[in-house]
């Protein structure tokens, strides 16, 4: 095999990037099968079978990210079909921005101007080739590959815009998430920490990761993780006055989910947090650390 033949094609590169973005194993299997059909160069139906698979893949993705009920619940939704179901354009829009308004999307500087048109155009082209006709049975191999590349590139662009939207939301709220997490932990000393000492208090919170878990019709769900820094006190107030008390400063990993309305993406509410204190009991790999070396007052 020559060096040129051994190099991945543009189609392979696009398929690899798209494969990493797909939602589930079913989607990856459909993409794999569609590519296998297209690469069977002796198969006169290869373009038809590729087109059928990719069209169904797009349909599955939109149906997963934008269910009928969720799209209909969005404030911007208007009935445009006789049966009242969302159009493909509305599904593409909801998949990207959920119930967020167009003004919010503009403020976040997410460019969604063309993607719904491009996706609809690709689906229409795929639909043309799914129907086996004399003019679709044999297509010039180079033209067929260009068509397949364009289809995958458009679908990949759709996922890239989804990611851009979520990145923009994260950037817009990250400072607020810091304050929110600190407020959550300072207002509520969780049982996981409280049982470790006579008195427990939160000193600081460090955010390591913010993730936009879902953008729904009414709320955005965030996933947050990081470290919570705590002070653990042992002994009564009189113990401390008599130099018999002790205080240890340490930190634990935490995870938290919280929500915000699509109309106010930084107004957090309904937080649920969990602190992992297993290291305190020697359940992690850091068995050599002596936590009592962190005692700051005794």
| 107 located within any domain | yes
Residues 205 and 256 in one domain: yes
| 222 located within any domain | yes
| 29 located within any domain | yes
Residues 100 and 163 in one domain: yes
| 231 located within any domain | yes
Q: What's residue 191's pLDDT?
A: 67
Per the structure, the count of domains in the chain is: 2
| 174 located within any domain | no
Residues 50 and 124 in one domain: yes
| 177 located within any domain | no
Residues 6+ apart with CB under 8 A from 228: 185, 193, 202, 204, 205, 206, 251, 252, 253, 254, 275
Q: What's residue 258's pLDDT?
A: 95
Bridge partners for 246 per DSSP:
234
Domain-ending residue, one of 168, 201, 228: 168
| 217 located within any domain | yes
Residues 123 and 270 in one domain: no
Residue 147, judged by CB atoms within 10 A of its CB (0-12, 13-18, 19+), counts as buried
Residues 58 and 135 in one domain: yes
Q: What's residue 185's pLDDT?
A: 82
| 68 located within any domain | yes
Q: What's residue 294's pLDDT?
A: 47
pTM of the predicted model as reported, rounded to 2 decimal places? 0.80
Residues 211 and 160 in one domain: no
Both tokens assigned to 184:
């959550």
Residues 114 and 193 in one domain: no
- The pLDDT profile of the chain, 298 residues, written as one tens digit per residue, is 444 445 678 999 999 999 999 999 999 999 999 999 999 988 888 899 999 999 999 999 999 999 999 999 999 999 999 999 999 999 999 999 999 999 999 999 998 888 989 998 999 999 888 877 666 667 788 888 999 999 999 999 999 999 999 999 999 998 899 899 888 887 766 667 777 666 777 888 899 999 999 999 999 999 999 998 888 776 555 555 555 556 778 888 999 999 999 999 999 999 998 888 888 776 555 555 554 444 444 4
Domain interval for residue 291: 188-297
202: left (phi over 0), alpha (psi -120 to 50) or beta: beta
Q: What's residue 204's pLDDT?
A: 86
Residues 269 and 229 in one domain: yes
Domain-ending residue, one of 118, 136, 168: 168
Residues 110 and 198 in one domain: no
Residues 61 and 162 in one domain: yes
Q: Could you give the CA distance from residue 221 to residue 224 in angstroms, rounded to a whole number?
A: 10
Residues 18 and 156 in one domain: yes
Residues 129 and 15 in one domain: yes
Domain-ending residue, one of 168, 196, 219: 168
Q: What's residue 71's pLDDT?
A: 96
């Amino acid at each position: 095999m020559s060096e040129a033949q051994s190099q991945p094609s543009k189609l392979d590169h696009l398929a690899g990037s798209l494969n990493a973005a797909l939602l589930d194993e079913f989607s990856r299997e459909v993409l794999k099968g569609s590519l296998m059909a297209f690469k069977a160069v002796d198969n006169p139906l290869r373009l038809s079978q590729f087109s059928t698979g990719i069209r169904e893949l797009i349909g599955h993705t939109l149906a997963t990210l934008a269910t009928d009920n969720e799209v209909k619940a969005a404030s911007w939704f208007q009935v445009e079909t006789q049966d009242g179901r969302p159009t493909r354009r509305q599904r593409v829009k909801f998949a990207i921005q959920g119930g967020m308004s167009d003004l919010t999307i503009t403020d976040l500087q997410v460019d969604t101007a063309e993607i719904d048109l491009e996706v609809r155009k690709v689906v229409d082209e795929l639909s043309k080739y799914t129907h086996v006709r004399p003019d679709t049975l044999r297509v010039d191999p180079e033209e067929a590959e260009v068509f397949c590349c364009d289809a995958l590139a458009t679908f990949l662009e759709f996922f890239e815009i989804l990611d851009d939207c979520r990145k923009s939301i994260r950037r817009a709220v990250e400072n607020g998430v810091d304050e929110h997490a600190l407020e959550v932990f300072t207002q509520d000393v969780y049982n996981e920490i409280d049982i470790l000492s006579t008195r427990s208090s939160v000193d600081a919170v460090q955010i390591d990761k913010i993730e936009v878990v879902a953008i729904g019709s009414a709320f955005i769900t965030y996933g947050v993780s990081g470290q919570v820094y705590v002070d653990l006190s042992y002994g009564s107030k009189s113990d401390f006055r008599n130099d018999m008390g002790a205080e240890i400063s340490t930190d634990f990993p935490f995870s938290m989910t919280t929500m915000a309305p699509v109309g106010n993406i930084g107004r957090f509410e309904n937080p649920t947090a969990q602190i992992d204190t297993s290291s305190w009991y020697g359940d992690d790999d850091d068995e050599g650390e002596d936590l009592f070396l962190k005692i700051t007052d005794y």
